[in-house]
Structure 1
Amino acid sequence: METEDYHIVYLTPDLKRSTFEGKEMRKEVVFEHHMLIWLISGQSKITLADAVHEFKGGDIFLIPRNKLAAITTSSVQGEPYRAVAMYFTPERLKAFYKKHKPYRAPSPLDKVRVFTRHPLLESCMVSLVPYFDLTEKLPEDIAALKIEEAINILRTIDPELDGMLSSFERPGKINLGDFMGKHFMFNMSLEKFGYLTGRSLSTFNRDFRKIFNTTPQRWLTDQRLELAHFQLAEKKRKPVDVYIEAGFENLSHFSYAFKKRFGYAPSEV
Structure 2
Amino acid sequence: MEYQVNYINPEIKLSCYEGKLFKTEAAFDDHLLVWLISGETKIIQADESFVFGAGSTFLIPRNQLATIFNYPKDGLPHKAVAMHLSTERLREFYSNTHSTPKSNTGKIIRFKLHPLLESCLASLIPYFEMQQNFPGNIASLKINEAINILRTIDGDIDGVLNNFEEPGKIDLATFMEKNFMFNMPLEKFGYLTGRSLTTFKRDFYNVFHSTPQRWLTKKRLELAHYELAEKNKKPVDIYYEIGFENLSHFSFAFKKQFGYSPSQLLEQKF
Where on the TM-score scale, by shorter chain, does this alignment land: which range?
over 0.9
Q: Which amino acid in structure 1 is aligned with residue 157 of structure 2?
A: L
**Structure 2: runs of 5+ lacking an equivalent:** 266-270
CA contact (8 A) 1:5 1:21 kept: yes
Using the size of structure 2 for normalisation, the TM-score is 0.93
Match of 2:250?
Answer: 254
CA contact (8 A) 1:104 1:159 kept: no
Post-superposition offset of 1:147 = 0.5
Match of 1:19?
Answer: 16
- Alignment partner of 2:35 out of 17, 33, 38: 38
Mean CA deviation greater in 28-37 or 157-166? 157-166
Post-superposition offset of 1:123 = 1.1
Using the size of structure 1 for normalisation, the TM-score is 0.93
Match of 2:268?
Answer: none
**Structure 1: runs of 5+ lacking an equivalent:** none
In structure 2, relative to structure 1, the CA distance for the partners of 1:176 and 1:113 (3 Å cut) is: same
* CA–CA separation in structure 2 for the residues paired with 1:178 and 1:234: 24
Post-superposition offset of 1:223 = 0.3
Match of 1:231?
Answer: 227
Q: Which amino acid in structure 2 is aligned with residue 26 of structure 1?
A: K
CA contact (8 A) 2:16 2:78 kept: yes
TM-align CA RMSD:
1.5
- The 5 Å alignment of 1:94-109 reads 94-98=91-95, 100-105=96-101, 107-109=103-105
* CA–CA separation in structure 2 for the residues paired with 1:54 and 1:60: 11
Match of 1:52?
Answer: 49
Q: Which amino acid in structure 1 is aligned with residue 6 of structure 2?
A: V
* CA–CA separation in structure 1 for the residues paired with 2:250 and 2:109: 35
Post-superposition offset of 1:119 = 1.5
Q: Which amino acid in structure 2 is aligned with residue 104 of structure 1?
A: T
1:203 alignment partner, SS class: helix
Mean CA deviation greater in 60-69 or 206-215? 206-215
CA contact (8 A) 2:99 2:162 kept: no
Match of 2:66?
Answer: 69
- Alignment partner of 1:267 out of 259, 263, 267: 263
Post-superposition offset of 1:106 = 5.3
Post-superposition offset of 1:36 = 0.6
Post-superposition offset of 1:157 = 2.2
* CA–CA separation in structure 2 for the residues paired with 1:233 and 1:165: 42
Alignment: residue pair count = 265
- The 5 Å alignment of 1:188-203 reads 188-203=184-199
- Alignment partner of 1:182 out of 164, 178, 183: 178
* CA–CA separation in structure 2 for the residues paired with 1:5 and 1:235: 33
